[in-house]
Amino acid sequence: MAKAVSRKSRAQKKNNSSLWIIGGVFAAAVLILVLVFVNLNANAKPPSAPAATSAGRVLGNPNAPVTIDLYSDFQCPICRRAEQTIRQIAPAYIDTGKAKVVYHNFAFIGQESEWAAEAAECANDQGKFWEYAYLVFDNQTGENVGAFSQNNLKRFAADLKLDTTAFNACFDSGKHAALIQQEKADAQARNIRATPSFYVNGRYIEGLLPIDQFTALIDSLQGQ
């Protein structure tokens, strides 16, 4: 009888130990899931508001009620479509003072992205940022295939009838290289992960919206 009770006691202790082990494993699993959830939400937090940039990169009336901040890479094909969207809506929204566009460099695709951004800043020194940007986008042929070689970027300046002596000196000296790197770091710090990305009056949009949705959003923000 005593042996039977002893065996029963040992079995009970074994069951209790198993329950503790199972409970511990379950608690650990729950903790891991909580940590993963928290980490995913931390990574998914919306980017913070954009930093100010040079006046030359503002397209439209500076006092327009809607501000469209555009983060872009000159080699990005979807960024070219975004730029074409801006051109399409310009007559009804930019030229009429309903909205303005502020360009932010996020030159991350490669060396040619950085060269193109630096060249656009050199054009900006002569008040021709947007004209130069349009020309660069119109000459996209692929990523890092030579379309935006240093010689081609200088040729674009000549095509726009810029002061090529001043432009070439600016470009060759790397005058704006640090600025372009700073802007890339700023975009990454704001958790911007793709180009094009937009803020429309502070509302973050990753990727390019269909033009009807884009204009509807601008319309909804008029007078706010």
Query: Which pLDDT tens digit goes with each residue over 67-96?
Result: 999 999 999 999 999 999 999 999 999 999
For residue 50, tell me if it sits in a domain.
Answer: no
Count of the separate structural domains present in the chain = 2
| β strands within the chain, DSSP E | 58-59, 66-72, 99-105, 197-200, 203-206
For residue 106, tell me if it sits in a domain.
Answer: yes
Q: What CATH number did the domain enclosing 212 receive? A: 3.40.30.10
Same domain, yes or no, for 39 and 71? no
pLDDT at res. 35: 31
Same domain, yes or no, for 7 and 78? no
Same domain, yes or no, for 72 and 155? yes
Global pTM reads 0.77
Query: Distances from the Cα of 138 to the Cαs of 10, 84, 85, 135, in angstroms?
Result: 81, 9, 13, 5
Q: 210 preceded by cis ω (within 30°)?
A: no
Boundaries of domain holding 182: 55-220
Same domain, yes or no, for 150 and 201? yes
Q: Tell whether the model's pLDDT for residue 61 goes beyond 80.
A: yes
pLDDT (average), residues 10-20: 48
Same domain, yes or no, for 88 and 112? yes
8 Å CB contact between 94 and 60: yes
Beta bridge partners of residue 104, listed in sequence order: 71
Same domain, yes or no, for 91 and 192? yes
Beta bridge partners of residue 151, listed in sequence order: none
pLDDT at res. 56: 82
8 Å CB contact between 170 and 125: yes
Residues 110-141: tens digit of each pLDDT: 999 999 999 999 999 999 999 999 999 999 99
Same domain, yes or no, for 126 and 41? no
Per-chain mean pLDDT for the chain = 83
69: helix, coil or strand? strand
